[in-house]
Structure 1
Amino acid sequence: MNIQIFGTKKCNNTKKAERFFKERGIKYQFIDMKEKGMSKGELTSVAVANGGIANLVNPDAKDKDAVALFQYIADEDKLEKLLESQQIIKTPVVRNGRQSTVGYQPDMWKKWE
């Protein structure tokens, strides 16, 4: 397995995801989205694996204006907007090759083992 966890240090679900993999002795790479966000290719592959770009947005994100704007812009502009406003992505985003999950989903991760 080649696990990448995209999240923030303050996010409780990200901490729980890290603990999940640590407890199983599975190595992972943590990427702090406040320091370094996802590339366009990474974001596109995560969106495809999770049923579309809209499924990546956290409706409860602190930046309510960015969430509202995202919902009302044209579909073809959503990827670019999400690249600019990665703070509205639901965390953690956990990648294992082409597979990925958004949010805390230990039941899915168990299937990867």
Structure 2
Amino acid sequence: MAMEVQIFGTKSCNETRKALRFFKERRIKTHFVDLKERAAAPGELKRFAERFGAEALLDRGGKRFKERGLHVAHVPESRILPMLADDAALLVTPLVRSGNQLTVGWDEAKWKGWIAP
């Protein structure tokens, strides 16, 4: 069966563009979800959060995190997923999924492992 990946991110994100290019260069079919045009489904976010923890999805170093004043606030784990569902600019991107395999952020080593026979 041919491999397919789903990539959640934005066109303005360098890491997302690099991920798209990584899979394209290897002729792997990608389904790109631009988070500026369409929010990730809560179930999708939950899948990543269950694997890595909601904290891992929150881009604490990002511009949007500071703009919202979140760097000076304590954000409880229980608030993170609803916040990410409302504001995709707070997500670490790209979120990449192939079947049950998931990654958060740029993870070339793991993707190469997915591709290896």
* TM-score computed with the length of structure 2 as normaliser: 0.86
Q: Distance in 2 between matches of 1:95 and 1:36?
A: 17
Checking the alignment, whether the CA contact within 8 Å between 2:35 and 2:88 is kept in structure 1 is yes
Q: Which runs of 5+ in 2 are unaligned?
A: none
Q: Name the residue aligned to 2:40.
A: 38
% of aligned pairs identical? 41
| Alignment partner of 2:97 out of 73, 95, 102 | 95
Q: CA RMSD in A?
A: 1.9
Q: Name the residue aligned to 1:53.
A: 54
Runs (4+) of structure 1 exceeding 6 A deviation are none
Checking the alignment, whether the CA contact within 8 Å between 2:60 and 2:71 is kept in structure 1 is no
Greater relative CO, 1 or 2 (CA 8 Å, sep 6+): 1
Deviations 1:10-30 (A, max 9, x none): 111111101110111100101
The residue type equivalent to 1:7 in the other structure is G
Q: Which runs of 5+ in 1 are unaligned?
A: none
* TM-score computed with the length of structure 1 as normaliser: 0.88
- Give the length in aligned residue pairs: 112
Report which of the two structures shows the higher radius of gyration computed on alpha carbons. 2
| 26 and 46 in structure 1: CA distance in 2 versus 1, 3 angstrom threshold | same
Q: Distance in 2 between matches of 1:30 and 1:39?
A: 14
| 79 and 70 in structure 1: CA distance in 2 versus 1, 3 angstrom threshold | farther
The residue type equivalent to 2:22 in the other structure is F
Q: Name the residue aligned to 1:25.
A: 27
- Quote how far apart the aligned CAs of 1:79 are: 1.5
